Each structure stands twice: as structure tokens, then as C-alpha cells.
């Protein structure tokens, strides 16, 4: 069983496989997703999902939630061969910044010994 407390000290391998980028945007989830997909691909990422208040809202899984203008966007590296280079993180953040979307926070998504060390949103596969 994965122990998040002991993991950083006892791991054989550790790598960053993606990012959760929190953005502020005043638009529906579908519109935000359609805007971010090509920008992510240009930076070498795949937009896996967008969540709002802990529930996946893009791509839609049919869950109903009252959304606010603060979105968690989960980006996975398109070719996760090794640790995610800082240069690629910068490319993604630059591609996301528009007049209608402002990134405000990011979290690296890590794997310890091949196991995800991050949680999933409600409805995320």
C-alpha cells in the first residue's frame, strides 16, 4: 500500500508526469476545455480533465455541479519518458495565459515507484 508520508524517503524512483494548473476563467467548462486542448498539445501535454469544486466537469461525465470561476486543469505529459523538464512547464504556462484565462497556481503530479502520488477528482478515471 502506498504510504505518502514514507514515500519520498523510501522510493526507488520519482518523476513528475504532469501538472495541475489552477486557472481563473469566467466561462463554462466545455468552452474552457475547447480553448485549452490545442494550447496544451502545442506545449507537449494532454488536457486530461478539468474539475471544479472537486468534481470533474470536462470532459463531461454527466455530473451536475455549481461551478465557480476557479478551475483545476489536469495536464499530463504527452510523452512521459522521464522527469518533466522545467522548460516544458514554462511552455505550457505561457500557452495557457490569455486575456480570458489566468493561471494562478500549479502543482506537480508525481509518481513514486511508478504509482501516482496524487488524488483524482470525483468522476475522474
Quote the pLDDT of residue 82: 72
Task: Kindly state whether residue 68 falls inside one of the protein's structural domains.
Answer: yes
Task: Kindly state whether residue 67 falls inside one of the protein's structural domains.
Answer: yes
Task: Kindly state whether residue 6 falls inside one of the protein's structural domains.
Answer: no
Q: CATH number of the domain at 65, please.
A: 3.30.70.1570
Overall number of domains in the chain: 1
Task: Kindly state whether residue 29 falls inside one of the protein's structural domains.
Answer: yes
Helix (H) or strand (E) holding 41: helix 29-42
Task: Kindly state whether residue 48 falls inside one of the protein's structural domains.
Answer: yes
For the full predicted model, state whether its pTM sits above 0.75. yes
| pLDDT single digits (tens) 32-82 | 999 999 999 999 999 999 999 999 999 987 767 899 999 999 999 987 677
Contact between 102 and 25 under an 8 Å Cβ cutoff? The reply is yes
- The CA–CA distances, whole Å, from 102 to 21, 27, 37, 42, 67 equal 10, 12, 16, 18, 17
Quote the pLDDT of residue 20: 97
Amino acid at each position: 500500500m502506498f504510504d505518502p508520508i514514507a514515500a519520498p524517503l523510501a522510493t526507488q524512483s520519482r518523476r513528475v508526469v504532469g501538472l495541475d494548473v489552477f486557472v481563473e476563467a469566467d466561462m463554462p467548462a466545455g468552452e474552457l476545455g475547447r480553448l485549452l486542448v490545442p494550447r496544451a498539445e502545442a506545449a507537449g501535454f494532454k488536457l486530461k480533465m478539468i474539475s471544479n469544486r472537486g468534481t470533474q466537469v470536462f470532459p463531461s461525465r454527466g455530473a451536475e455541479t455549481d461551478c465557480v470561476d476557479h478551475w483545476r486543469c489536469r495536464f499530463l505529459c504527452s510523452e512521459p519518458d522521464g522527469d518533466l523538464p522545467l522548460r516544458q512547464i514554462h511552455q505550457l504556462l505561457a500557452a495557457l495565459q490569455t486575456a480570458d484565462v489566468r493561471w494562478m497556481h500549479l502543482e506537480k503530479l508525481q509518481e513514486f515507484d511508478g504509482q501516482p502520488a496524487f488524488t483524482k477528482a470525483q468522476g475522474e478515471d
